[in-house]
Amino acid sequence: MSDVHSEELLAQVAALPALPGVYRYFDAQDALLYVGKALNLKRRVSSYFQKNHGGTRIGHMVSKIVRMETTVVRSEAEALLLENNLIKTLNPKFNILFRDDKSYPYLKITGTPGAHTRGDAPGQAFPRMAYYRGAVDKKHRYFGPYPSAWAVKETIQLLQKVFRLRTCEDTVFANRTRPCLLYQIKRCTGPCVDLISPEAYAADVQHAEALLRGETQELLQALEARMMAHSDKLEFEQAAEVRNQIQALSRVLHQQSIETVDDKDVDILAVRVQGGRACVNLAMVRGGRHLGDRPYFPVHVEDAAAVFEEEGGDGADETVATPSRPVRPVEALVLEAFIAQHYIGVPVPPLLVTSVPVDKALLDALTEQSGLRVNAIHQPREQRRAWLDMAQKNADLQLARLLAEEGSQQARTRALAEALDLPPEDLDQLTIECFDISHTAGESTQASCVVFHHHKMQSSEYRRYKIEGITGGDDYAAMRQVLTRRYSKVVEAQREEGGIDYAQSPEAQAAARPKGQARLPDLVLIDGGKGQVGVAREVFIALGLDLTRIVGVEKGEGRKVGLEELVFADGREKVYLGKDSAALMLVAQIRDEAHRFAITGMRAARAKVRVGGGQLEEIAGVGPKKRARLLQRFGGVRGVASASVEDLATVDGISHELAEEIYKALR
C-alpha cells in the first residue's frame, strides 16, 4: 500500500513514538475517515501501511489516506475517552457513531432545605417538584436522568400521591389566597395558604428525596417512628396523616415491585445487530424503580465493523487474532461504542447490566472519568435477568421496526423512480424538494421547502421563505418568487465553480460535477396543478434548468385523497399512479410534510403580527429566558405592555433599569 502514499506521510508514520495515543486519518478533501486508539502508536499505525489489504473495506479506507494527525496521551483510559470524544464530535465515516437526538429530562426539586429559617421567599421555603431538561446548577436538587418525559411526569404523580408536594410555579404560589384543586383531591398539602408548617413540609421533601434515592426501607422505618411519636403525644390526627402516607407508599412500592430490589441505580444495555443496522436499548433503574427504556440506532455500523474484522484485533496493538484473543463480535463493538460515547455527557451508574461482555479497559476508563467504581455483568440472575430479558426483547422489536420502516421507504423510493422513469442506480442519493404556499386570506404569506433523500425526510435541510412584494393571495407570484430565490443562487454558484450545463440530463450533470459540490435536486415537487407547474416551468427556463425535474401534484376528481395526478412541465401526459401505489404514498408523504411545515410557519408569523410577539425580541437585554418569564408572569405581550415599571421589576432577572426600557419600548 505504501506506493499510493506520499513520502511525507510515510515519514510521519515512521517517526511516531511507541506511546499510547489517538490517531486520525484524513482524505484528499480533508474529510475525517477514521479515529483509532493505540497502546503503541508506532506499531499500530505502521500496520496500516505495511500490509497489502487488497480490495477490502480497510484497503479502500487506507487508499484514501493523505494526511494523519496523532495525539499522545498518558494511558489507555485517556486514549479511549479521547477517541470517542473525537468520534462523537467529528463523525468519521469508518467509526460506529451514536448521535444524540435529545438531552435527558430530570426531576427537579427547587429551593434549599431550611430556607424558611433564613427568611427567604415563600417559594424557597416550600420547594416544588418540576420536570426539567437542560444544564443543572447547585441551587436545586436533580434526580435522574430519566429515559423520557413520561417517566419524569409519572414519578411526579407518584410523589404527589404519597408526599403531596407542590408543583405550581412560584408566581402562582405567591399569589394564592385559597388552596387549589390539587389540595382538594389530596395531591398537595396547601403550603401556599399555610395549611402546613415549613418544618412539616421540609420533612415531606426529605422523605420524597429518600424515595427517589431508593432508600425505601429506611423511609418506611422513619415514617413508622414518626407516626408512633405523634401517637405517644396523643396527636392522633397527625398520626393518621402519617399512617395514610405509609399506606400510600406501600401501595406504590408493591405496584412498582421496589421492595424486593437491592439495586438502586442500574443501567441495562441490550444490543441487537441485523441487516447492517444495530439497536442499543437502554433501560434505566433509578432509586430501585424501573423508569423505562430508550432505543439508539448507530450509523456507519457496516463500514466500521468490516474495518475492525479486517484489522483482526481491537484497534490497540495486535493486528492478528489468536485463540487467546479472538476477534470480538459486532454486538460487542456496537455496545462498547455506545457506552464510551453515551457516558461522556451523562452520569454513569455504578452497575451496568449488559447483553454481551464489556472490555475491562472501558470500565476502568469510566471509573477514572467519573470517580465512581463502575462494574458490568453480562450473565445476571433473578431481577437483573428479568430486566435484561425485557431490554433485549425491546431491542429486537425496535430494530425490526426500523428495518421494516426502512424497507418500506426504500420500496417507495424505488417505485417512484420506476414510475417517473428515473435511473434505478444509487437510489440513496435520489433527492426531492417540495414547495408549498400558505397564507390566511393573503396575510403572512410563506413558502416552505422540504427535502427528501436517503429514503427519509431531512428536517435539518428544510427552509421557510417569507414572501413579500406580491398581491395578497397570489399563489402563482409566491411560487415564482420562492423558486427563483431557491435556485438562482445555486445555479450561479455552480456555474462559476463547475461550468455545468443544466440543460443536460441529471446523469450528465452528475458526471460533470466536481465531488462535494452542491447539486440541484433530482425532482422538484410542486403542490399544485397545471397553473403552478407553468410558473415553475417559466422559472426553470429563465435559469436554464432541466424541465424534466418539475413534477406537480394535482388534486384528483372531487379533491379526494388517493386520486391525485402527476403533472409535468416538459409536455408529458398526466400520470395517475393509483391510490394504492407505493410511489403515490411517497409523493403524498412529501407533499403533506411540505404543507405541515408551511402551515406551522404561517401560523407563527400570523400570531406574531396579531399579538406583537416580536416586540419583546427587539428590546436589548431581553433574551429568550427573560422573555419567557415576562410572558409567563403577565400572560402575554399585552399583559407585559400594560404592566407598570414596578410590576416588571418583580420578575426574576429584570432590573429596574431594564423594566423602564421595556415599559418605554412597549408604549
Mean pLDDT by 10 residues, the chain (667 residues): 75 89 90 89 86 74 89 86 87 84 80 53 77 80 84 85 86 86 87 88 87 76 78 78 73 51 81 89 85 87 74 45 60 90 84 92 87 89 89 91 84 88 81 87 79 90 88 86 89 66 51 53 90 92 89 78 83 82 88 86 56 62 80 74 83 86 79
In the chain, CATH 1.10.150.20 sits at 612-665
Return d(Cα 506, Cα 423) in angstroms, integer.
Answer: 10
Report strand pairing: 565-568 vs 375-377. Answer: unpaired
CA angle 192, 179, 202 (to 5 degrees): 40
Task: With 0.95 as the threshold, say if the pTM is over it.
Answer: no
For residues 11-31, one letter each, b for 16 or more C-beta atoms within 10 angstroms of the residue's C-beta and e for the rest, the string is ebbeebeeebbbbbbbeeeee
Instruction: Note the pLDDT of residue 602.
Output: 62
Which residue intervals of the chain bear CATH 3.30.420.340? Answer: 427-603
Does the domain spanning 427-603 belong to CATH 3.30.420.340?
yes
C-alpha 223/C-alpha 231 separation (Å) is: 12
Residue 576, helix vs strand vs coil? strand
Q: CB–CB of 267/352 below 8 Å?
A: yes
pLDDT value at position 515?
43
H/E element holding 141?
strand 141-143
Task: Evaluate whether the domain defined by 266-400 bears CATH number 3.30.420.
Answer: yes
612-665: CATH topology is DNA polymerase; domain 1 (1.10.150)
How far is the C-alpha of 38 from the C-alpha of 562, rounded, in Å?
58
Indicate the pairing of strand 565-568 with strand 550-554: antiparallel
CATH of 2-90, one of 3.40.1440.10, 1.50.10.10, 1.25.40.10, 3.40.50.1370: 3.40.1440.10
How far is 88 from 98, CA to CA, in rounded Å? 7
Q: State how far the Cα of 424 lies from the Cα of 414, in Å rounded to an integer.
A: 7
User: Closest Cα partner for 483 from 561, 439, 541?
Assistant: 541
User: In angstroms, rounded to a whole number, what is the distance separating the alpha carbons of residues 334 and 199?
Assistant: 51
φ/ψ of 166, rounded to 5, equals -80, 155
**What is the 3 state secondary structure string of 376-416?**
EECCCCHHHHHHHHHHHHHHHHHHHHHHHHHHHHHHHHHHH
Structure confidence at residue 642 (pLDDT) = 78
Q: Which three cell numbers stand for residue 528?
A: 399544485
**How far apart (Å, rounded) are the C-alpha atoms in residues 444 and 463?**
16
Contact between residue 110 and residue 130 where contact means Cβ atoms under 8 Å apart: yes
Q: Where in the chain is the domain with CATH 3.40.1440.10?
A: 2-90
- Alpha-carbon distance 500 to 523, whole Å? 18
Amino acid making up residue 435 = F
